Amino acid sequence: MSDYVFTSESVSEGHPDKVADRISDGIVDLYLGAQPDARVAAETLVTTNRIVLAGEVRGPESIKPDDIEAVVRDAVKEIGYEQEGFHWKTAELSNYLHEQSADIAMGVDASGNKDEGAGDQGIMFGYATSETESLMPAPIDLSHRILRSISAARHADANSPFEPDSKSQVTLKYVDGKPVGATTIVVSTQHKANVLQSDLREQVRAHVEKVLPEGWMCPEDDFYVNPTGNFVIGGPDGDAGLTGRKIIVDTYGGAAPHGGGAFSGKDPTKVDRSAAYASRYLAKNVVAAGLSSNCTIQLAYAIGVSKPLAVYVDLWKNEMGIDPHKLSKVLQELVNLSPRGIREHLSLNRPIYARTAAYGHFGRTSTADGGFSWERTDLVAALKAEFGL
């Protein structure tokens, strides 16, 4: 269809699943900061005043349980939880992290003539579209931006009515395949007690209107703020949270396929994470180079095997008539898509992951310290030259 409506949602850093992601990625950063080739697969459960860690690690003995606890509590404090039902200082912490399986290590580690293998089997997808400046689908891009605006206001003002847990949902109307405006906006945000819902609605409206392009606001009857009423009890006290339960929020809001593997809590030898970043990097550079207005890339791996089993390129309408088979070959020449090659090309063995835990892993701005390196467009010149653009 060229004319349709499409919806995506986002959740804030205070959503219980995102609290779990933030803690798990904080542990990844702790280990990579101490030893760049450390291995981490950390899972987190959060519920009423309780945090449970589980998973496997391999890293320096200098990292002690107290160091891990400090990272966990600092993450919760940074998010802003100082509530009776979930408090960074008083929440009970149970740590069940243990040493990485020797069988997994044997398959992943380089030895002799064997290059480092993928940390798991699986399929990973990357996507980019020209419909926004970030080359992300507009519904998820706007959903993230609304919540980031609310979050910034909460952190900047102690008297803000907003509390950490919130969700947004944006439905856009597309005409001839391009977004032209919102048909429905939904924002549910945790708030302080005794806040009037009418006042909250107007504060939320200001953030929504600031983010939406001019003239894109939905009809008043289709603008929903806390449609169930009060939202005072929230976060892990209102609903348990687990690492890796918001994979569509983390990626493309449903506008493109997802391989199924979560990102947070995993070091970059896990291709669930690193190859998803690489496929986004490739797709974004294809679109940024003007080869297509949309691009989907799939990578497939087997545990312990270094090279991808397959590299699939879909150029959607393929307006420029690019040969996708040639493009697949060119991309593999530009970037070594082995786990080691991806990590080295994107400099992933750094403590850069806590910042990815909320508001999407894609569509962000790359930073000088290597954060969001997969959002760079440094392949554009080579791609244009290869295809005569």
Q: What is the CATH number of the domain that holds 374?
A: 3.30.300.10
Check if 239 is active-site.
Answer: yes
Q: Which of 6, 9, 13, 15 is catalytic?
A: 15
Residue 1 has a pLDDT of 75
What does the radius of gyration of the chain's CA atoms come to, in whole angstroms?
21
Q: Which of 39, 58, 167, 345 is catalytic?
A: 167
Q: Which contiguous run of DSSP H or E holds residue 194?
A: none
Check if 222 is active-site.
Answer: no
Q: From residue 173, give the alpha-carbon distance in Å to each of 176, 216, 258, 269.
A: 10, 10, 23, 40
Q: Are residues 279 and 380 in the same domain?
A: yes
Q: Under a CB-based contact definition with an 8 Å cutoff, are residues 202 and 211 in contact?
A: no
Task: Give, as one character, the DSSP assignment of residue 377.
Answer: -
Q: From residue 288, give the alpha-carbon distance in Å to each of 59, 134, 136, 285.
A: 38, 10, 11, 5
Determine, yes or no, domain membership for 85: no
Rounded-to-integer distance, Cα 296 and Cα 315, Å: 7
Q: Are residues 221 and 289 in the same domain?
A: no
Residue 228 CB burial class (10 angstroms; 0-12, 13-18, ≥19): exposed
Q: Which of 56, 109, 115, 314 is catalytic?
A: 56
Rounded-to-integer distance, Cα 25 and Cα 263, Å: 9
Q: Are residues 229 and 329 in the same domain?
A: no
C-alpha closest to that of 170 among 161, 162, 179: 179
The domain boundary residue, chosen from 185, 212, 233: 233
Q: Which of 18, 22, 154, 191 is catalytic?
A: 18
Q: What does each of the 389 residues of the chain score in pLDDT, given as a tens digit?
A: 789 999 999 999 999 999 999 999 999 999 999 999 999 999 999 999 999 999 999 999 999 999 999 999 999 999 999 999 999 999 999 999 999 876 655 556 554 544 576 667 789 999 999 999 999 999 999 999 999 999 999 999 999 999 999 999 999 999 999 999 999 999 999 999 999 999 999 999 999 999 999 999 999 999 999 998 899 999 999 999 999 999 999 999 999 999 989 999 999 999 999 999 999 999 999 999 999 999 999 999 998 888 899 999 999 999 999 999 999 999 999 999 999 999 999 999 999 999 999 999 999 999 999 999 999 999 999 999 999 88
Check if 270 is active-site.
Answer: yes
Q: Which of 266, 273, 284, 345 is catalytic?
A: 266
DSSP 109-170: S-BTTBPPPBSS-EEEEEEEETTSTTSS-HHHHHHHHHHHHHHHHHHH-TT-SEEEEEEEEE
Q: Are residues 276 and 327 in the same domain?
A: yes
Q: Which tokens go with 40?
A: 């981490």
The domain boundary residue, chosen from 233, 257, 279: 233
DSSP 237-270: HHS-EETT--HHHHTTTTSS---S---TTB-TTS
Q: Are residues 317 and 211 in the same domain?
A: no
Q: Which of 22, 145, 154, 246 is catalytic?
A: 246
Q: Are residues 283 and 363 in the same domain?
A: yes
Strands 178-191 and 92-99: unpaired
Check if 384 is active-site.
Answer: no
Q: Which of 145, 148, 191, 270 is catalytic?
A: 270
Residue 306 has a pLDDT of 83
Check if 144 is active-site.
Answer: no
Q: Which tokens go with 53?
A: 């860690």
Residue 305 has a pLDDT of 82
Helix (H/G/I), strand (E/B), else coil: 299: strand
Check if 272 is active-site.
Answer: yes
Q: Which tokens go with 96?
A: 């069940």
Residue 114 has a pLDDT of 47
First to last CA, the chain: 29
Q: Which tokens go with 217?
A: 């606001």
Q: Are residues 284 and 221 in the same domain?
A: no
Q: Which tokens go with 185?
A: 């906006």
Check if 15 is active-site.
Answer: yes
Q: Are residues 126 and 165 in the same domain?
A: no
Q: Are residues 348 and 365 in the same domain?
A: yes
Q: Are residues 348 and 277 in the same domain?
A: yes
Determine, yes or no, domain membership for 72: no
Q: Which of 267, 272, 375, 386 is catalytic?
A: 272
Q: Which of 6, 9, 13, 17 is catalytic?
A: 17
Check if 381 is active-site.
Answer: no
Determine, yes or no, domain membership for 189: yes
Check if 231 is active-site.
Answer: yes
The domain boundary residue, chosen from 204, 233, 262: 233
Q: Are residues 378 and 284 in the same domain?
A: yes
Q: Which of 153, 240, 300, 382 is catalytic?
A: 240
Strands 223-225 and 178-191: parallel
Label residues 52-84 b or e (16+ Cβ within 10 Å = b): bbbbbbbbeeebeeeebeebbbebbeebbbebe
CB atoms within 10 A of CB 214: 6
Check if 176 is active-site.
Answer: no
Determine, yes or no, domain membership for 67: no
Rounded-to-integer distance, Cα 82 and Cα 163, Å: 10
Residue with the two structure tokens 């391999």: 58
Q: Which tokens go with 71?
A: 């990272």
Give the structural domain span for 284.
Answer: 122-130+271-386
Check if 56 is active-site.
Answer: yes
C-alpha closest to that of 274 among 353, 379, 348, 359: 348
Check if 167 is active-site.
Answer: yes
Residue 121 has a pLDDT of 79
